[in-house]
Amino acid sequence: MDSVAPLPSSPRLIVDLDAVRSNYRLMAERSGKAKTGAAIKADAYGLGLERIAPVLAREGCTSFFCAHLSEAVAARSALDYDAEIFVLSGVSYGEAPLLRQKHLTPVLNTHEQILLWREAGGDDPAALHIDTGINRLGLDWHNFAPAMAEGLNLSLVMSHFACASDPAHALNTKQLERFTTIRNAFPNVRASLANSAGILHGAETHFDLTRPGIALYGGAPLDTGGPSLTPVARIEAPVLQVRHLRKNQNIGYGASFTAPRDMTIATAAIGYADGVPVAASNCWFGRIEGQKTPLLGRVSMDLCVFDVGHLPSPPQPGDMLSLLGQDLEVLASLSDTLSYELLTRLGPRFVREYKGRSA
pLDDT of residue 7: 61
Contacts of 229 (CB under 8 A, 6+ apart): 23, 26, 215, 218, 219, 220
Task: Give the pLDDT of residue 307.
Answer: 98
CA 331/CA 339 separation, integer angstroms: 8
Q: Of 24, 33, 35, 41, which residue is the catalytic one?
A: 41
Q: How far apart are CA 298 and CA 164, in angstroms?
A: 34
Q: Are strands 209-210 and 285-288 parallel, antiparallel or unpaired?
A: unpaired
Residues 195 and 290 in one domain: no
Please give the DSSP secondary-structure letter assigned to residue 274.
G
Cβ 206 vs Cβ 199: under 8 Å: yes
Q: Domain count of the chain?
A: 2
Residue 1 has a pLDDT of 47
Query: What gap in Å lies between CA 157 and CA 180, rounded to an integer?
Result: 11
Same domain flag for 144 and 192: yes
- Per-residue pLDDT tens for 38-65? 999 999 999 999 999 999 999 999 999 9
Tell how far CA 293 is from the center of its chain: 26
Q: What is the pLDDT of residues 82-130, one digit of tens each?
A: 999 999 999 999 999 999 999 999 999 999 999 999 988 868 999 999 9
Say whether both 207 and 237 belong to one domain: no
Q: Is residue 340 annotated as part of the catalytic site, yes or no?
A: no
Residues 153 and 42 in one domain: yes
- Report whether 117 contacts 91 (CB < 8 A): yes
Q: Is residue 93 part of a domain?
A: yes
CA distance 211 to 164: 13
d(CA 246, CA 259) in angstroms, rounded, equals 7
Residue 253 known to be catalytic = yes
| CATH of residue 337 | 2.40.37.10
Residues 193 and 272 reside in one and the same domain: no
Report if residue 333 sits inside a domain.
Answer: yes
Residues 207 and 247 in one domain: no
Dihedral over Cα of 139, 144, 148, 150: its sign: positive
238 with 295, same domain: the answer is: yes
Specify if 224 maps to a domain: no
Same domain, yes or no: 203 and 295: no
The answer to whether the CB of 108 falls within 8 A of the CB of 96 is no
Judge if 308 and 163 occupy the same domain: no
Cα 24 to Cα 207: distance, rounded to the nearest angstrom? 18
**Share of residues in the chain with pLDDT > 90 (%):** 93
- Do residues 158 and 167 touch, judged by C-beta distance below 8 A? no
Instruction: State the residue range of the domain holding 105.
Output: 32-211
Distance CA 186, CA 343 (A): 36
> What pLDDT score does 2 carry?
53
Which residue ranges of the chain lie beneath pLDDT 70? 1-8, 122, 359
pLDDT of residue 95: 95
